Amino acid sequence: MNKGIATAGHEATAKAASEILRSGGNAFDAAIGAMYVMCIAEPALASLGGGGFLMAYNRDKAPVLHDFFVQTPRNRKNLEDLDARSFLCDFGSAQQEFIIGSGTSAVPGYVKGIFEIARRYSTIPMTELIQPALDLLKDGIVVNDMQAHIFKILTPIYLSDSARPIYESRRNPGNTIECGETIDFSNLSDLLETLAIEGDDLFYRGEIASAIHATAQNGGLVNYDDLANYQVELRKPIRTQYNRYRVFLNPAPSSGGIVIALGLSRLNNSSAKSWKFGTSQHLAAVLETLAGCDTLSDNRMAHEMGFDPELITMLRRIAHTYAQAPRGTTHISIIDRDQNAVAVSVSNGEGCGTLIPGTAVMMNNMLGEHDVNPDGLTDWPANTRLSSMMAPTVALSDQGELIATGSGGSNRIPAAVLQVLINLIDFDMSVEDAVRSPRLHYHKSHAYYENLFDASAINQVIENYPDSTAFDRCDVFFGGVHTAKYCRGQVEGFGDNRRGGIAISV
């Protein structure tokens, strides 16, 4: 077997992971190196000021979910005391209101997550794991089409006062940085080098904690106590059997993994294994399953449709207890030569538009989402982990096959991951074919589909869904399922081209 494979949403991210694998590091070392680089190469999606989840499979041990997602602060403020402002984000076909400012930031877990993984699994010093990021900073990161598109959509955030010097276009002042231009993170190298030496205390009890605390005096919420008391939570994954695979998924308080488990529970009781991909039977079953997952309000109907009642109870409990953060996300999947596997999903929301003083690090805006705070910025459960749709996933077969996968895409994440899993498991596709294949989605009585299926099959199915939208190509809307697989001594992977993905084997 070669030394492993890394799949990610940006070439620089996958390259960092692959370089560490090539030098003898394990999947966890590679994930750490990649997580630093993500903050430079994919800054609209990943930041030291955000958070995420890592599913860890340490060969021959039970997988563990590491929850380093954001936490609500311990204290609220009156609305007039918050630094918060709204803007309408234009996605072309739709508009969405976002709220930004330091008063929308939750307690970040990203840095604590990196160091917790290092303490548990790493074989390489942190001073070496940051090197790919330092090299990238020295050379400069050239903005690609995907990142330029995101910056343009989120212009009010990335041209805010503190962010403007970094993200304003040099070619066209007044616009966000464009494809082909280089981002200058001038003082990030010093921060990473100091962080590697001093450890996560720098961020949660030291100089950076003090800088974040200072923003709480000027309209922010996150203070020193919030940071000093933040902890990474180790959680037992949801485990479900599907066909010949044991699938391990992100558990409560997040909901994405539970929705995938619900979908698998229903399809497991169907004739999925006997279908061919793209037939009307296959497409109808997937859409019915996605629609059922989206509308689990009728206990009797859910039971009749074949959903696991325990999972339904778990999902409803989350919905009534936790605030959901369905935000911009990116993902990496890595398998090493010893068949350790890592699936990491991270998010910074859209970013709050405010940099931590003295750094190039933008804090998250997770509290500025109506799905998190339907009643406003002053009404959320204090000192509580936010829920998420993120679903880093590991699957193990009876024959020793291993899959690591996950996706970005907000509420489309569960549907995207579910379909890639059944493509791999039921239809025995290669990883590339499983990820490239067209997808379906269902949300709030509306069906969505990539119109690349057999015309007669999709038309037969979609006529039962009068509210539907067709996409004429594989589209970013349907997620970015970056996936890696080990089978019989070989690794393969594919970075979802819907979101600029890439796979590098070593």
Q: What is the pLDDT of residues 232-242, one digit of tens each?
A: 999 999 999 99
Q: What is the mean pLDDT of the chain?
A: 91
Among the ranges given (273-287, 371-385, 403-417, 471-485), the one the predictor scored with the smallest mean pLDDT: 371-385
Distance of alpha carbon 79 from alpha carbon 459, whole angstroms? 50
Nearest Cα to 107, choosing from 256, 254, 233, 231? Answer: 231
297 pLDDT above the threshold of 50: no
Reduced to 3 states (helix: H, G, I; strand: E, B; else coil), residue 6 is strand
Averaged over 252-270, what is the pLDDT? 90
Among the ranges given (257-261, 269-273, 473-477), the one the predictor scored with the smallest mean pLDDT: 269-273
CA distances (Å), origin 173, targets 149, 166, 314, 356: 16, 12, 50, 24
End-to-end CA distance of the chain: 10
Cis peptide before 156 (omega within 30 of 0): no
Nearest Cα to 13, choosing from 144, 192, 110? Answer: 144
Q: 45, 19 in Cβ contact below 8 A? A: no
Distance of alpha carbon 408 from alpha carbon 482, whole angstroms? 9
| pLDDT given for residue 317 in this prediction | 78
Nearest Cα to 166, choosing from 51, 40, 49, 48? Answer: 40
Read off the pLDDT of residues 55-101 as tens digits, 9 standing for 90 and up.
Answer: 999 987 999 999 999 999 999 898 888 888 887 766 555 566 788 99
Report the catalytic residues: 329
Which are the contacts of 483, defined by CB distance < 8 A and separation ≥ 6? Answer: 7, 333, 403, 404, 405, 420, 424, 431, 434, 435, 493, 494, 496
Averaged over 141-165, what is the pLDDT? 91
**Domains, the chain, with CATH or none:** 4-233+346-368 (no CATH), 235-324+390-484 (3.60.20)
CA distances (Å), origin 103, targets 100, 134, 216, 420: 7, 31, 8, 38
Read off the pLDDT of residues 307-357 as tens digits, 9 standing for 90 and up.
Answer: 777 887 888 777 766 666 655 689 999 999 999 999 999 999 989 999 999
| pLDDT given for residue 298 in this prediction | 45
Half-sphere exposure of residue 226, counting CA atoms within 13 Å on the CB side? 28
What single-letter amino acid sits at 466? Answer: P
230 pLDDT above the threshold of 90: yes
| pLDDT given for residue 275 in this prediction | 83
Read off the pLDDT of residues 29-46 as tens digits, 9 standing for 90 and up.
Answer: 999 999 999 999 999 999
Give 479's DSSP letter. -
Q: 461, 284 in Cβ contact below 8 A? A: yes
